[in-house]
Structure formats: structure tokens, C-alpha cells
Chains A and B, each alone.
Chain A
Amino acid sequence: MKRVVAYTGNEVAAEAMRQIEPDVVAAYPITPATEVVQAFSGFVSDGLIQTEMMTVESEHSAMSACVGAAAAGGRAMTVTAANGLALMWEILYCASGNRLPIAMTVVNRAMSAPINIHCDHSDSMGARDSGWIQIYSENAQEAYDNLIMALPIAEDKNVLLPIMVCFDGFIISHSIERVELLEDKEVKDFVGEYKPQFALLDLEHPKTFGPLDLQDYYIEHKRQQHEAMKFVPDAVLASAKRFEALSGRKYGLIETYKLDDADVAIVVLNSAAGSTRAVVDKMREQGIKAGLLKIRMFRPFPAELIAQSLAHCKAIAVLDRCDSFGAQGGPVAHEVRSAICNLPKVPKVIQSVYGLGGRDLNIEDIVDVFGDLKKVADTGKVEKVFDYITVRS
């Protein structure tokens, strides 16, 4: 029985966490993710769930406590944004290096300085090399669905990696949308019981977690993390298949819209995909064969699938809500470019940074990008490989 509600992104994230009912949540407030912590604390205070809530003194301790809790042998979750994620940065690597399937909501927000509480992706993109699985969500429904699907992916016995589910600060976290929720029991059955292979609480089999690991073994352990990432796409798809049977909603590693016959396409993730989809329709009305590729799973990066999906395009634009200062484009652009570079006929690529610190990406901005792409497609020439858009000139 589906339950339809009008919830904000943060409310559905808290609702998903309530339904998952992890054993331990350790969290710290930070805008725009605070409401998730608040709402979840309310569920605990009202006795709706058995989760032990650790209201720690920093995000560093939130992630540190999650590592301890997960290593002890149960489910641990947290939620953060921006500077909070940056403060966790060191321990993100400890979580993945210790192969602990922790799940975290990241409500994407710009990094200081200057301080800004609004959306961009410089927080989670900064953590892209930390060994965490990264799933991006276009809207509140996807944020909810991705959170429900997160733990079975992370806990897959071939994977055992932490996972972050990202959605846009304010744009999604604070906007009310129509969302279909699952029944509590459906979620419980979907995530199932967690039985860790190794647990600190297993006194019969004492284990040493986090030893010093030098030149003779460290690289093999890092290689194991690399190999574990290769199992993630199958785990994501298996989780999605089960989820579709339950909810009727279908998910893949990427989502395409009118891409199959597109000459020009935009690659983007999170909420900007919604606006882009609308502009694709508008372009099609004008006779421009436009398409969209939305990346759902950014880590591991589904390079082959993305290359195949874009192979027939004449020109593509990759829009990043994050700059890699001094480079020729943001992180998504670089990944996409490397993915397509060995195609027999490589599409022309333009890459743009947009929307930093919550600057709106308006319909006209996307129309302009398609206009530029049309020019590139017609002439075969890229005048400007990289530029900022949605910025004062």
C-alpha cells in the first residue's frame, strides 16, 4: 500500500532512516541537513524506533563514532553537508579502508569560504576519491528511494563499502514535493537483517581493526577496495530490481532522456536534471535533437555505459556544480571526457561550471547551452572548451 505525502527532501530522508531503523545514528547539525537530524531525534525521543542516537560534538566525531559502531557489528548511519563532510574527510577514508558499510545522507552545499549555505556539489565531489559509493538524487522521491536502496548495496558481501546518498541543499532539502512512501514493513523486509562477517563485539573471535599497514601490504589492501568497487554496479542494479518490484519505480546506474537519437546532449546530476529534461522537450519542439544523460551513480563511475550512451552524439555539454580550480572543468566533465576518449568517433565536449553557492540554473541558461551545442554540432568546432555559466560576465 503506497502512502503519498507532501514532504521536503529532508523529511523524506528522515522518514527513510526511521523506516530503516539503523542500530546507531551519530550526527551533528549543519544547514541544510539539520532537519534530518532533528526529525530523526524526534522519532527516537518519541520511542518510535529503537535506534541509539549519538548527538556528538562534531562531524569528525559523528563519522568516527559511525566507524566504531559499524566495526562493533551493526548498522550505523549519519547525515551531513558541506563543511561537515569536509571535517569528516579523514575518517571517510577510515570507513572505506576498514570496509564498513556505513550509509550517509549528504545534503549538497557549497564549501566555505566565503561561507554560503546553499547548494553546490563541491562537498561530495571533494570526497569522490575517498572510497565511498556515491549515489545522486534528482528529487525528494529519488532521495527517499536511494536511501532505502543504499544499505543492501553497501552490505553486499562482495562490496562492503560505505555509501553516500546525495541530494541538493534547499532546492530539494527544503522544497515540498509529492512523494510515495513504502510501508514500514516493506522497508524492513527490503533492507533485511545485517549479519557482519567480522565484529568487534564477537569476543570468541577477537579481531584487530585498523592496524599499521606498511609497504608490504598497504597497496594490496587498496587494490582490494578498487576490486570491491567493481562489484558495486551489479549490487546497485540488483537492489534497483528488487526495489522496482516493490515500488514500481525503476532505477539504473544512469538515466537517459531522449538520448537515443540525440545529436546534442547535456550530462548533469542531481536536481538540474529535472530542468534539463524540460528544456530537452522544448528543444525537440524546435527541431533540435536534444537529449539528457543524468548520472545516478558517480562512484564507481559507469564509464563504459556512459560512453556507449553518448557515442552517437555530435556534441555534449557536461555541467558541473563544482569547480576543480585551475583545471579545465569540474569533476563530472573530467570523468565523462575520459570515458568517451577512446570512442571511434568522439563527440565534441564543452564543459561548464554552473550554480555555485545556490545560484539558480534557469531554463534560459540551459537553452543557451543547447544553443552552443547546436553551433558546435553544426560547425564541428569548439570555441570555448570550458566556461562558467550562470555568472556575471
Chain B
Amino acid sequence: MNEVEHTIKQLREGDELTISSVYKSNREKFISYARRFDINREDIIDIYQDAIIALTENAKKGLLDGLKSEISTYLFSIGKYMIYNHLKKNKNLPLLENNIPDNITWNDYAEEMQDDDVRKMKASFSKLGEQCQKVLRLFYYEEKKLDDIVTALAYSNKDVLKSQKSRCIKQLKELIQNDK
């Protein structure tokens, strides 16, 4: 396993030290790249942080597996895409369609953030027990298949996990009801 593969593995596992070292080692370069655009510093940092989050998400989804370039090149292509989106959003640029680079997925869920149901669900989700949060996060956020979650969380078999997941969703629905 070479260095890049090792870093990708660590990112996939959500290793905080790796995330922080990737963050630190590309930060200056990204800021100075972004400085030529009409974006204030706070927004640059905000965009950079989103790019780091997208990097870890894509690593978890396996999209970085077999990556031919450096991690920093990948991170920059996400960041550049986000800068253009930011410029576009704030200025109604008469732009060419800003296509997302290959191998990268990113949905900013801007619309959903404004949705009342989503807000309530989010609040209820954080009240769930730790195990439920783990299971649901692996399934919905990391898009792991149930078989992989069985292994990751050491369940004895898939049925046990399935009934756990159903219980968690039932609990969540009750919490949402109580919040109304």
C-alpha cells in the first residue's frame, strides 16, 4: 500500500488525525488560490471546509479507491467546483454549466435545509441513542450496504441488524410525533 492509498484508507475510516493533517497541509495553498476571486476570507475557509467534508464523504463511498492523482489534486478539483458554484450563486453569472468533475459526488442539500420536516427529523435524530445513530448514519450517510454494516458493527447476522434498524426508525418517528 503506497502513501496515497494509506491516506485514502484512513479517510474512509474517518481518522481524525488524517483529516486534520490533510486539512492543514492544503489550507494555505487553497486560500492563496481562492484569494484571486472576489470572495471574502470567511467564505473561503467555509468553502475549504466543505471541500474537506466532501473529500471524506467521497472516500467513504469508495470513490477515491484506485485514485491516480494526489489527494491534494482531488481536493482542489472539489474546491474549485465549489468556488465556481459560490460565485455563480452570489452573482448570477452567465455561466457555462458547471459540471462536477468525474469521481466526485456532492449535493449541498440547500433546499432540504429549508424544509421543516427535515429540520424536525434532524433534531429528533440527535435525540436517538448512540447505537441507533451509528446504524442509521452508516446506512443513510455512508451509504453502506446492510451486509457491510453487519460486519462493521459486529452484528451476529443481517436479521438482527434489520430489526434494530426498524426499531430505530420507529423510535425516530415517535420522537418526531412528540415534537409536533
Whether both chains belong to one complex is answered with: no
